[in-house]
């Protein structure tokens, strides 16, 4: 498992970056063309008889996440075009996050242990990589025998979730399906139209993940676990 142990300083930094990411994500979502929404919705099985069918209130975030990262036009994704055009200065949180977005990876995570008020230690079932995912909601609510399919964004020693996470009960059939998709996708398809990420998201939705989707929204106040009295527990 990862040797990373979160401190209150890590959590404070994460909360600051999470709030910035929320604003950036909203701005990118407003720039998604309708044709992209329709194309991705069709790939995810959300377009039925020409109408958009969303099975839960969190599905727009799932759809927008795939539109931003996984649908390419003229060889580039929306997040790549946005990062290139955005005028955030070097050294700012906005520039740091935009660079991190370009390194984002969609993962299927087996959660191993939680640090309440910080996040969860996980293993990526596709790569075998161990990582710590900073996420307040996951640290408090997640059943650790579940899996989570989610975009993950690197923040140095740890990662944060992006878009909407899809919790999954780790059945043998689901794991086999995801690994088969990865194998069949072949090189070069994971970061383009109809790539591996969209296939994984559709497999999750077909398995009922829409009923348990988790949308990452920033918290304005410090988590209870990191009050002055409790902070030293993680130092």
User: What pLDDT, in 10s, does the model give residues 186-232?
Assistant: 544 444 445 778 888 888 887 765 555 554 554 433 333 333 333 33
pLDDT band at 134 (very low <50, low <70, confident <90, very high): very high
Name the domain count of the chain. 1
The answer as to whether 223 is a domain residue is no
pTM of the entire predicted model: 0.81
The answer as to whether 104 is a domain residue is yes
Is the pLDDT at 98 greater than 90, yes or no? Answer: yes
Which residues span the domain enclosing 166?
8-215
The answer as to whether 170 is a domain residue is yes
The answer as to whether 221 is a domain residue is no
The answer as to whether 234 is a domain residue is no
Better-predicted residue by pLDDT, 103 or 52: 103
Contacts of 2-9 spanning 24+ positions with Cβ under 8 A: 2/121, 2/130, 2/131, 2/132, 4/132, 4/157, 4/158, 5/115, 5/234, 6/115, 6/118, 6/119, 6/132, 6/134, 6/158, 6/234, 7/231, 7/234, 7/235, 8/226, 8/231, 8/234, 8/235
The answer to whether residues 200 and 189 touch, using CB atoms and an 8 Å cutoff, is no
Strands 159-168 and 130-134: parallel
The answer as to whether 3 is a domain residue is no
Is the pLDDT at 176 greater than 50, yes or no? Answer: yes
The answer as to whether 224 is a domain residue is no
The answer as to whether 230 is a domain residue is no
């Amino acid at each position: 498992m990862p040797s990373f142990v979160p401190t209150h300083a890590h959590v404070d930094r994460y909360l600051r970056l999470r709030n910035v990411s929320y604003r950036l994500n909203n701005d990118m979502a407003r720039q998604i063309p309708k044709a992209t929404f329709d194309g991705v919705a069709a790939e995810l099985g959300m377009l039925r008889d020409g109408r958009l069918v969303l099975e839960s209130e969190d599905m727009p975030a799932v759809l927008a996440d795939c539109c931003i990262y996984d649908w390419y036009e003229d060889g580039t994704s929306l997040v790549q075009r946005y990062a290139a055009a955005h005028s955030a200065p070097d050294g700012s949180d906005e520039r740091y996050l935009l660079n991190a977005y370009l390194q984002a990876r969609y993962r299927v995570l087996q959660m191993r242990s939680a640090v309440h008020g910080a996040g969860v230690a996980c293993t990526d079932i596709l790569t075998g990589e161990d990582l710590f995912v900073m996420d307040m909601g996951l640290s408090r609510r997640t059943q650790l025998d579940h899996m989570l399919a989610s975009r993950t964004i690197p923040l140095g020693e740890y990662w944060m979730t992006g878009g909407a996470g899809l919790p999954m009960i780790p059945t043998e059939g689901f794991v086999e399906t995801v690994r088969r998709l990865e194998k069949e996708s072949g090189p070069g398809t994971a970061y383009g139209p109809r790539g591996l990420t969209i296939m994984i998201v559709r497999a999750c939705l077909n398995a009922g993940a829409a009923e348990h989707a988790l949308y990452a929204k920033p918290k304005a106040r410090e988590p209870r676990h990191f009050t002055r009295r409790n902070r030293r527990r993680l130092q």
